[in-house]
Amino acid sequence: MKKAMIGAVCGVAMLLAAAPLWAHHAFAAEFDSNKPIKLQGTVTKMDWINPHSWIHIDVKNPDGTVTNWAIECGSPNTLFRRGVTKDSLPAGSEIVVDGYLAKDGSNRANGRDVTFRDGKKLFLGSSNPDAEK
Amino acid sequence: MKYRLICVAAVFAISLAAADQNSKNAIPRTPDGHPDLSGVWTNVTITPLERPRNLEGKEFFTPQEVVAYEKEHQRNRDVRQRGTVADVANAYNDFWWDSGTKVVKTRRTSMIVDPPDGRMPPLTPERQKQLAAEAEAKRERCKTPGCEVENSGMPGPADRASDRPLMERCLSFSNAVPMLPTAYNNDYQIVQSSGMVAIDVEMVHQVRWIPIDASSHLPSAVRTWLGNSRGHWEGDTLVIDTTNFNPEMSFRGSDENLHLIERLTRVDADTIMYRFTVDDPTAFTKPWTGELPMVKAEGMLYEYACHEGNEGMMNILSSARTDEKRAAAEAVKK
């Protein structure tokens, strides 16, 4: 784990679209599209909570200190239907999270993609070969 | 003697037919002989409630059309543009949602089976007027500060918590009566005894209690979010009859007179065929019926912790008060 925080890349801000009808909270209110972030770290624990599970990872900072980040995920059954079980993310697993930073400045992000360090994707979310990866 | 032979032959034929029937429709049964509906089920599907206009006159897809429709659906969802609010708002771009990738296995093009055009009948003129008046009252109220945007994208009053939609108040996502799929957690656990059936709807931990007895509905003055249900068996079908809805609980424009009739038939080991009829003469110009299968699912249901950590309500109300104060201060300056 050489480089914990690989870096944030700026994106293009767009007008806030109406939140999906079924979303309980507007994700765009919680996470910042201007602050994409890539985090590499070690899983410390997983909270299986409805409506959103959380993956907690320890990320080593450039100065050698360690920060615990919480990554917001889908509901336990959404993960389960995609083949993710309690055995998929044991403590100690090294993962890369590609997501967006929380607006409130806390050490939280949403998980847009989660990838094992060897490049293997954890979830099989998309079946579309044309999708931008 | 001849009569006896005919009799034996007839009984034999009936038993054969019965045996054949049993092997085809081997469904689990409870000790009292009714189909056993218990277990965890899911009704996730991309089949829409109403038939899309471009599929007018088409009740079923062919297997080839199913493949094309599902592929197109997936393609539309997989648009991923990094660094956009849409990418964040779409909550991980359907990566974390579970709103289905397949049409129903009956290959219907809509859940609605009646009217035959697969679309909801119009609302009655009175109901349309009523809804328009409610919308106008909201618009009028929101000409002055103190309103906040609702999930619909339009501002709504935020004078008190009860002004806000049921979803924000964690009361219901309006997906339990009738039971229709939503963005994720389309899971239902049915627990059945001879006198009572309970259905736990994972989204959002709404438990429906359905007494299977000859009792009447509660007095009409008693109104609840999920209505008041009574069940009975018609052959192998559990029929659930629900009335007494809270006027605030509206399903696609229904009002407090909604009378919902649901029919659950376990058609095979893996499927319950679910049919629902919306009968609400003050809201709809005629009754309408939909159908979709509930399929056996693995796993367990998780409690939906909607209220816990729901800081949204406090923030919405305090934000509305801040807006009011700010507007008042500006008015004084002027």
We report the CATH number of the domain holding residue A87 as 2.40.50.1010
Domain coverage including residue A92: 1-6+35-123
In a domain, A14, yes or no: no
Interface predicted TM-score (ipTM): 0.76
In a domain, A29, yes or no: no
HEC per residue, chain B: CHHHHHHHHHHHHHHHHHHHHHHHCCCCECCCCCECCCEEEECCCCCCCCCCHHHCCCCECCHHHHHHHHHHHHHHHCCCCCCCHHHHHCCHHHCCCCCCCCCCCCCECCCEEECCCCCCCCECHHHHHHHHHHHHHHHHHCCCCCEEECCCCCEEECCCHHHCCCCCCCCCCCCCCCCCCCCCCCEEEEEECCCEEEEEECCCCEEEEEECCCCCCCCCCCCECCCEEEEEEECCEEEEEEECECCCCCCCCCCCCCEEEEEEEEEECCEEEEEEEEECCCCECCCEEEEEEEEECCCCCCCECCCCCCCHHHHHHHHHHHHHHHHHHHHHHC
In a domain, A16, yes or no: no
Please report residues of B whose CB lies closer than 8 A to that of A100: 87-88
What pLDDT score was predicted for residue B230? 98
Q: Is the pLDDT of residue A80 over 60?
A: yes
Tell me, yes or no, if B78 comes closer than 8 A to chain A by beta carbon: yes
Nearest chain A residue to B75, by CA: A128
Give pLDDT tens digits along chain B (334 positions).
455 555 445 544 444 444 445 545 589 999 999 999 999 999 999 999 999 999 999 999 999 999 999 988 877 766 667 777 766 665 555 556 788 889 999 999 999 999 999 999 999 999 999 999 999 999 999 999 999 988 777 899 999 999 999 988 888 888 999 999 988 899 999 999 999 999 999 998 999 999 999 999 999 999 999 999 999 999 999 999 999 999 999 999 999 999 999 999 999 999 999 999 999 999 999 999 999 999 999 889 999 888 776 778 888 999 999 999 999 999 999 8
What pLDDT score was predicted for residue B162? 94
What pLDDT score was predicted for residue B288? 98
Asked if A118 and A96 touch (Cβ cutoff 8 Å), the reply is no
In a domain, A132, yes or no: no
Nearest chain A residue to B304, by CA: A50
What pLDDT score was predicted for residue A122? 66
Q: Is the pLDDT of residue A53 over 90?
A: no
Residue A50 and residue B185: Cα distance in Å, rounded? 9
Q: Is the pLDDT of residue A17 over 50?
A: no
In a domain, B62, yes or no: no
Tell me, yes or no, if B309 comes closer than 8 A to chain A by beta carbon: no
How far, in Å, are B89, B326, B327, B329 from residue B333 at the CA level? Answer: 38, 11, 10, 6
In a domain, B50, yes or no: no
Domain coverage including residue B255: 27-44+122-334
What pLDDT score was predicted for residue B226? 96
* Coil vs helix vs strand at A115: strand
What pLDDT score was predicted for residue B86? 67
What is the pLDDT averaged over residues A51-62?
91
Contact A10 B80 (CB under 8 A): no
For chain B, positions 79-108, list CB contacts with chain A under 8 A. 79-98, 101
What pLDDT score was predicted for residue B160? 95
Tell me, yes or no, if A19 comes closer than 8 A to chain B by beta carbon: yes
Number of domains within chain A: 1
Q: Nearest Cα to A35, choosing from B312, B87, B95, B90?
A: B87
Type of residue numbered A74: G
In a domain, B72, yes or no: no
In a domain, B316, yes or no: yes
Say which residue, A118 or B263, is predicted with more confidence: B263
Confidence category of residue A9, pLDDT binned at 50, 70, 90: very low
Q: Is the pLDDT of residue A3 over 60?
A: no
In a domain, B215, yes or no: yes
In a domain, A22, yes or no: no
Please report residues of B whose CB lies closer than 8 A to that of A111: 92, 96
What pLDDT score was predicted for residue A25? 56
What pLDDT score was predicted for residue A129? 33
Pairing of strands A66-72, A108-116: parallel
% of chain A exceeding 90 in pLDDT:
23
Q: Is the pTM of this model over 0.90?
A: no
Q: For residue B209, how far is the Cα from the chain centroid? A: 16
Please report residues of B whose CB lies closer than 8 A to that of A15: 85
What pLDDT score was predicted for residue B90? 58
Number of domains within chain B: 1
Low-confidence winner among A39-43, A74-78, B217-221, B255-259 (lowest mean pLDDT): A74-78
DSSP state of A16: P
In a domain, B201, yes or no: yes
Asked if B288 and B121 touch (Cβ cutoff 8 Å), the reply is yes
Nearest to B89 among A19, A113, A131 (CB): A19
Residue B86 and residue A17: Cα distance in Å, rounded? 7
Asked if B120 and B127 touch (Cβ cutoff 8 Å), the reply is no
Tell me, what CATH number does B228's domain have?
2.40.128.20
Q: How many angstroms separate the CA of residue B93 from the nearest CA in chain A?
A: 8
Asked if A112 and A55 touch (Cβ cutoff 8 Å), the reply is no
Q: Which helix (H) or strand (E) holds A41?
A: strand A31-47
Confidence category of residue A128, pLDDT binned at 50, 70, 90: very low
pLDDT tens by residue, B175-233: 999 999 988 899 999 999 999 999 999 998 999 999 999 999 999 999 999 999 999 99
What pLDDT score was predicted for residue B116? 97
In a domain, A70, yes or no: yes
DSSP state of A50: B
Q: Which helix (H) or strand (E) holds A46?
A: strand A31-47
DSSP state of A62: T
Which residue is it, tokens 């249900």?
B229
Say which residue, A98 or B113, is predicted with more confidence: B113
